[in-house]
């Protein structure tokens, strides 16, 4: 049963950002969006992830300063699925998080999210031993609004774990979530192909800004991927948010860092 579904839907379900709601009759509640971009220390405030180390790990990776995508809506549930469960498992534990590109321009095309989904799955498949019964669903979908703009898309990451009891299902889900977290860590540390181009993301060196800045890098001649040895030792990159230009070292960015020139 191990595997992954990468899909695209045309139904808009989500708005970024979104406000909280009153508690539902069953006691659950939509707590509203908390902006975690560049602030992984705030993950502990996300009530939907409380009690799940794996879910918190995923949110921390998405909140890391070098992440190219960030988190929006999320939730975690445990359900008795009875006879509908795969391989005779009656319990399902699932967690999902809606993500979008830090660079808002990239959210215009759903194909960009499909490209990222493929990279995430490639990293998961390379690391998983499939000892736990789990599934992954990575779905690109339209957004109702993205900070007031229409015609934008997002990517939902969902981890599903199964078991003969709630505890077994949750344990399987935790394995799946840790695999997603590891994949996101790898994604932030390597170039990502979107719109047929390769990008790295650095952090603005202005302490008063620190916004994420994606910049395009060229693939090697005759190849569809960049070669690290061919990159310049430093690049001058202008931040579109504050206008400050800083010098970044691409080979340091590969390891998730952006260091100013001394």
pLDDT of the chain, 262 residues: tens digit per residue: 468 999 999 999 899 887 766 655 665 556 677 889 889 999 999 988 998 999 999 999 999 988 889 999 899 999 999 877 777 899 999 999 999 998 888 899 999 999 999 999 999 998 888 888 999 999 999 999 998 888 999 999 999 999 999 999 999 999 999 999 999 998 887 767 676 677 777 778 888 887 777 777 777 777 766 776 677 777 788 887 788 888 877 655 444 443 443 3
Q: Cα–Cα distances in Å, from 151 out to 15, 142, 147?
A: 12, 7, 11
Residue 256: its pLDDT value, please? 41
Residue 28: its pLDDT value, please? 59
Residue 258: its pLDDT value, please? 39
| Cβ atoms of 78 and 51 closer than 8 Å | no
Domain boundaries, the chain: 3-190, 196-253
d(CA 217, CA 44): 35
């Amino acid at each position: 049963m191990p595997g992954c579904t990468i899909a695209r839907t045309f139904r808009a379900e989500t708005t970024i950002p979104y406000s909280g709601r009153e508690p539902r009759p069953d006691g659950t509640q939509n707590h509203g969006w908390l902006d975690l971009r560049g602030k992984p220390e705030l993950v502990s405030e996300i009530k939907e992830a409380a009690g799940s180390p794996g879910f918190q790990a995923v949110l921390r990776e998405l909140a890391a300063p070098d992440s190219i995508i960030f988190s929006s809506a999320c939730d975690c549930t445990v359900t008795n699925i009875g006879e509908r469960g795969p391989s005779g498992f009656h319990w399902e534990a699932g967690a999902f998080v809606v993500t979008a590109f830090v660079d808002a321009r990239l959210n215009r095309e759903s194909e960009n999210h499909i490209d990222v989904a493929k990279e995430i799955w490639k990293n998961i498949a390379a690391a998983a031993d499939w000892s736990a019964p789990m599934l992954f669903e990575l779905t690109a979908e339209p957004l109702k609004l993205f900070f007031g703009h229409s015609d934008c898309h997002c990517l939902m990451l969902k981890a599903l774990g199964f078991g003969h009891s709630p505890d077994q299902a949750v344990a399987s889900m935790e394995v799946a979530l840790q695999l997603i977290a590891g994949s996101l860590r790898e994604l932030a540390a390597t170039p990502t192909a979107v719109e047929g181009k390769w990008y790295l993301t650095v952090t603005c060196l202005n302490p008063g800004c620190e916004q994420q800045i994606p910049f395009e890098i060229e693939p090697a001649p005759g190849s569809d991927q960049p070669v690290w040895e061919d990159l310049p030792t430093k690049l001058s990159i202008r931040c579109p948010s504050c206008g400050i230009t800083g010098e970044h070292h691409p080979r340091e960015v590969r390891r998730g860092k952006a260091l100013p020139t001394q």
